[in-house]
Structure 1
Amino acid sequence: MGTVGLSFGSATSGQGFDVASTVTQIQAASQAIETPWQNQLTALKAQDTVLSSLGTDLSTLSTSLQKLTDFEGVFAEKQGSSSNTDVLSLTSASSTAVAGSHTIVIGQLAQTSSDASTSISNANDTLSGSVTIQGHTFNVDSTDNDTTLASLSAAINSAGIGVSASVITDSSGSRLSIVSGTSGAAGQLTISGSLSGASSGNITFQTGENGQDANLTVDGVSITSSSNTVSNAIPGVTFQLLAPSTTPVQVQITDATTDIATAISSFVSAYNTVVGDINTQEQSGAGGTSSPLLGSPIIAQLQESITGSLFSGSASGSINNITQLGISVNNDGTLTLSADTLTSALNSNLADVTGFLQNSGSFGQTLATALNNAGTQAPSGAIYLAQQQNSSEETALNADITNENAILATQKTQLTNELNAANQILQSIPSQLNEVNSVFDSLTGFNPNTQA
C-alpha cells in the first residue's frame, strides 16, 4: 500500500486537513484490486456479443439449410402453368403433384342455382301467403313477423336451409333474390307457394340460373365437378375453370428448380456470413487490438466442425461432391456459387441432387447435424456451452466485486469517523494554546503572544 501524506500546515494553525480526500487516497490501493476483475468482465461481455452474433448467424444458416433438407421444403414444391389463362387458371400445385403435362377440354362451367321474385313497387308493402324453399315452408304473416321483403329475407337466412336471401332494389322496384348455398346440380333450388302484396298483387318466382355441374375432360377422361374450382382431376393440383372451350388447354406441372436455385444461393450467402464471423475472430484489430475470441477454443471448434462437413456425407447417384452443384471453396473458407453449373445439375439430375441433401447420411444431413452441435441449442451446442461458461464466470466476478465494494464501504465509514475525530483535535489546538496562555498570563503577568 502506498504512503498517504496529510497536509494541514502548522500544527498550531487550526487548519486541519481534507478528510474526504484523505479517505479516497487511503482506499485507492484497496480499490485497485477490482481493476483486473473489471477488465475481465469487459472482456467476457465483448465475447458475449460475438457469441450472440455468431449464434444468430448460425441459426440463419441452419434455417437456410433446412429448406433444402426438409422433405416438405423447396424440393417438394411444384410449379404449374396454363396455356390459356382466359379459359383455365392454375391455382396451386402441392408437393404431391407429379411433374408432367396434361390436356384439358372444358365443355361447360358449373353454375349456382338462383331465383328471384317478381318486383313490387313498394319494398315495405305488406305481404301474405306462404312460400316453400327447399322443402321448408315460411308462413308470411304477422305472427312470424315476416310480412315485408326485408323481414322475409331475414327469416329465410335465419332458417339455415342452405340458401341466402336478399332484397334487390332498382328502377323497376324491389324483389326477393334467393341463391343456393351449394354450387352445381346438387344445389338446384325448388321454390313454390303463393305470395301476394297488399298493393302489388300476386308475387311469383322465376329462375335466374339453373344449378349445373361443370363438364370437362382431363387427358381424355370425362369428369364432372360441382364447382369451377377443381382439385380432384390432377393429383396435387388445383385449377379454376373460367370459360368453356373446345380448344384443349395444356397444363404443365414442373419442379420448382428456380426456387431451389434461389434457396441454395441463400444457403451459400448464409454460410459465407458465418465463415466471415469466424475469420474476423482470428485477426487482430487496428492498433493491435485483439478480437474478443482470438485464440479461443470455440473458434477452432466451429471452424473444424463446419468446414469439415463440406466434404462429408455419402453420395447420391451421380452427385457426390458440392462442386457438382457449382459450389467451390475459396482460400478464406468462403464459398462461390456457379449459377450455370447449378442449373445444369438441377435440370439433369434433380433426384440425385435431392438425395445428396436429404438422404440419411448425406451431405445435407451431415452438415445439419454439425450446425446443430455448433449453435445455441441447449444443452450441448458449442456456442450455448461457451455462453454458459461466460455467464458463470461473470456471476463469480460480479459477486467478488460486490463483496469488495461492501468491505470498502465499511472501511470508508470507519476511516471517515476516525479522521474526522483527528481533524477536530488538530483544529482545536489554537484555542487550547490560547487557554494555556491566558492561565500563564494571569499567574505571571506575562503573555508571550504580545511580545515583539
Structure 2
Amino acid sequence: MGAVGLSFGSATSGQGFDVTTTVNQIVTNLQAVETPWKTQLTALTSKDTTLTSLGTQLSTLSTDLQTLTDFSGTMAYKTGSSSDTNVLTLSSASATAVAGTHTISVQNLAQTSSAASDAVKASDTLTGGITFKVGSGNWQTVNVGDGSSAATLSGLSGAINNANLGVTASVLTNADGTERLSLVSQTSGSAGQITIADTMSDPASPTTLADSTVANTKTGLGLATIQNGLDATMTVDGVTGITSASNTVTAAIPGVTFQLLSTGTASSMGTSEAVQVVIDNDTTSIETAINTFVTDYNATMKAINAQEGKDSSGNPEPLYGTSVLAQLQEGLLSAVSSSFGSNSINSLISLGITANASADGTISLDADKLSSALNSNFNQVVSLFQDTGSFGASFTNTLNGLGNSSADGGAISLALSENSSQETTLNDNVSKQEALIATQKARLTTELNTANQILQSIPEMIQQVSEMYSAVTGYSRNQNG
C-alpha cells in the first residue's frame, strides 16, 4: 500500500489542502487489496466463457449422434421408386417400412360419387326439396328456402352446405348461362356413394325439387347420381382384391404411401401390367448425418486443442493446464477409437472413419468405404449405433459425462459449478471490502474537512492574537525597534 502525504505549503498560509484528492488517494490504496480478487474473477469469467462454448459444441455433437441412435431417426428413413410413374408414384415411406421390392397391378382407380340436376335459369324460383343419403347413412332432406335461403339453385346449394350432410354442393354454370346443382361426396370410394331418393328407394320422402318459373319435364328436376363411388382395386405381391377407398393408398404396403394415377397398359392377357415398387434404406441421408457428426467432432476437438496454447498477446488460454481440458481430450479420443462386438462393422474404423495423420485427435471420413458398409452390411451399421453396449450407447454416455448436463454430472458442468463457488466467494470479498472502504471514506472525509478548516483559519487566528497583544501592551508587533 502506497503512502499518502498532505501538501498544503506553509502551515500559516491559510491555503489548506485538497480534501477530495487526498481521500481518493487513500481509497485507491485501500482498494489495492481487491486487485488479486478481481484478477481471479477475470480469469474465472474467461474460463466460464470457454467452458460454456465447449459445452455447446458437445451438445451439438450429442444431437448429431442422436439422429443416428434414435430408432425412428435417420437410420430408419426409407426411399422409394416406381417402375412406371404414369401408373403409380411413391409419396412417402416411414420408419416402419421394410426395404424390399413389391409388385403392384392396378385393376381400377377409386372414384368419388357425384350427382347433378338438370339446368335451370339462375333467376328461376324453385319449390320442393331434395332427399339423398351418403353410403349406408340415413336419408337427409333439404327443402328450398331452408335456413332462410333464397328459393333458387344457389340458395339451395348454400342450405345443403350449411347443413353439413357429407356432400359438397356447388352451382355449375353452362355456356348459355343456365345453372345445374352439383353434389360431390365428401367420402371417396364406395362408402361415399350418393343415392338420390325417388318413389322407389324412399317412397315416404322422394326428391320433389321443381322449377315454378318454367315447367320442368323431369321429376325432381332430373337430380340423379352421375358418378358412382368406387374403391380402387389392385393386386399386391400376388394377393388379389386389395382395395382402397382413395387413390392415395396407405395400407397396402406397411409404412408406405403411394398414389394411383392409372391402370396402365393392359398386357397381352388383358390384365394390367405390373409395376415394380422398390423400398430402400435412405443411405444418402445416413451418409450426410455421419459426415455432419465427423465435421462437428473435429470442430469440437480443435476448440479443445486450442486451449493448450497461448493467445495473440502471449498469455495462456483460459483452460491451459486444467484437469477438465485433459478429461475432454481423453474422453473423446477413447470414445471414437473403441471397438464393440465381433461383427465386421464393429468400430468407426470399419465405417471409414480414421484418425488424421496430424495426431491432433481429429478424424477423417472415407466416403466410399462408408457407402460400401451401408450397402453391404446395413443392419450391422445400424447395430453399431443403436444396440445396447454399442458405439452409439457408449459415446452417448461419454458425451453426457463430459458435457454441461448437471443431471449427468458432466465435467464441464462440474467445472462451471466449481468456478461459480469461487466467484461467489471472491465477489463477497470485494463487496465487503467496498463496504469497509465506503465507511472509512466517509469518516476520513469528515475528519480531513475539519482539519482543513483549522488550517485555513490559522492566519485569522494569528491576526487575532496579534491584535490582542497590541491592545494589551500598546506595542505593535509590526513596529520596528
Which of the five TM-score ranges fits, normalised by the shorter chain?
A: over 0.9
Query: Per-residue deviation at 1:90?
Result: 0.3
Query: Per-residue deviation at 1:74?
Result: 1.3
**Secondary structure of 1:12's aligned partner:** coil
Is 1:92 the counterpart of 2:92? The answer is yes
Query: Per-residue deviation at 1:98?
Result: 1.6
Q: Which residue of 428, 437, 450 maps to 2:457? A: 428
Q: Deviations over 1:6-35 (max 9, x none)?
A: 111111111000001111122222211111
RMSD: 1.9
Instruction: Between 372-381 and 114-123, report the one with greater CA deviation.
Output: 114-123
Is 1:187 the counterpart of 2:192? The answer is yes
Q: Could you list the runs of 5+ residues in structure 2 that have no partner in the other structure? A: 134-138, 198-206, 266-272
Per the normalisation by structure 1, the TM-score is: 0.95
Query: Per-residue deviation at 1:57?
Result: 0.4
Aligned ranges 1:91-240 → 2 under 5 Å:
91-123=91-123, 125-134=124-133, 135-141=139-145, 145=149, 147-171=151-175, 172-192=177-197, 193-202=207-216, 203-222=221-240, 223-240=242-259
- AA partner of residue 221 (structure 1): V
Mark the CA change 1:362 to 1:451 in structure 2 (over 3 Å): closer, same or farther: farther
**Secondary structure of 1:240's aligned partner:** strand
Is 1:253 the counterpart of 2:279? The answer is yes
Mark the CA change 1:218 to 1:316 in structure 2 (over 3 Å): closer, same or farther: farther
Instruction: Between 361-370 and 245-254, report the one with greater CA deviation.
Output: 245-254
Instruction: Between 41-50 and 186-195, report the one with greater CA deviation.
Output: 186-195
Q: Deviations over 1:189-232 (max 9, x none)?
A: 11231212332333222444221111222223222221101112
Contact 2:344 2:350 in 1 (8 A): no
Residue in structure 1 matched with residue 72 of structure 2 by the alignment = 72
CA distance, structure 2, for counterparts of residue 240 and residue 352 of structure 1: 33
Q: Deviations over 1:173-194 (max 9, x none)?
A: 2332211111112211112312
- AA partner of residue 210 (structure 1): N
CA distance, structure 1, for counterparts of residue 478 and residue 12 of structure 2: 13
CA distance, structure 2, for counterparts of residue 47 and residue 449 of structure 1: 74
Query: Per-residue deviation at 1:255?
Result: 0.8
Query: Per-residue deviation at 1:91?
Result: 0.6
Identity %: 53
CA distance, structure 1, for counterparts of residue 145 and residue 93 of structure 2: 53
Residue in structure 2 matched with residue 292 of structure 1 by the alignment = 318
Mark the CA change 1:389 to 1:422 in structure 2 (over 3 Å): closer, same or farther: same
Per the normalisation by structure 2, the TM-score is: 0.89
**Secondary structure of 2:400's aligned partner:** helix
Query: Per-residue deviation at 1:445?
Result: 4.1
CA distance, structure 1, for counterparts of residue 479 and residue 353 of structure 2: 104
Q: How many aligned positions are there?
A: 451
CA distance, structure 1, for counterparts of residue 147 and residue 418 of structure 2: 80
**Secondary structure of 2:188's aligned partner:** coil
Query: Per-residue deviation at 1:141?
Result: 4.7
Instruction: Between 438-447 and 375-384, report the one with greater CA deviation.
Output: 438-447
Instruction: Between 192-201 and 68-77, report the one with greater CA deviation.
Output: 192-201
Q: Deviations over 1:232-270 (max 9, x none)?
A: 211211100112213432211111111111111111111
Q: Could you list the runs of 5+ residues in structure 1 that have no partner in the other structure? A: none
**Secondary structure of 1:161's aligned partner:** coil
Contact 1:89 1:241 in 2 (8 A): yes
Contact 1:83 1:251 in 2 (8 A): yes
Q: Deviations over 1:406-443 (max 9, x none)?
A: 11001000000000000000001111111122222333
CA distance, structure 1, for counterparts of residue 75 and residue 21 of structure 2: 74
Residue in structure 2 matched with residue 385 of structure 1 by the alignment = 414
Query: Per-residue deviation at 1:150?
Result: 3.3
Q: Deviations over 1:257-315 (max 9, x none)?
A: 11111111111111111111210111122332111011111111111222111233522
Mark the CA change 1:11 to 1:115 in structure 2 (over 3 Å): closer, same or farther: same
**Secondary structure of 2:405's aligned partner:** coil
Mark the CA change 1:395 to 1:101 in structure 2 (over 3 Å): closer, same or farther: same
CA distance, structure 2, for counterparts of residue 369 and residue 76 of structure 1: 22
**Secondary structure of 2:209's aligned partner:** strand
Mark the CA change 1:451 to 1:174 in structure 2 (over 3 Å): closer, same or farther: farther
Residue in structure 1 matched with residue 10 of structure 2 by the alignment = 10
Query: Per-residue deviation at 1:113?
Result: 0.7
**Secondary structure of 2:381's aligned partner:** helix
Contact 1:104 1:249 in 2 (8 A): yes
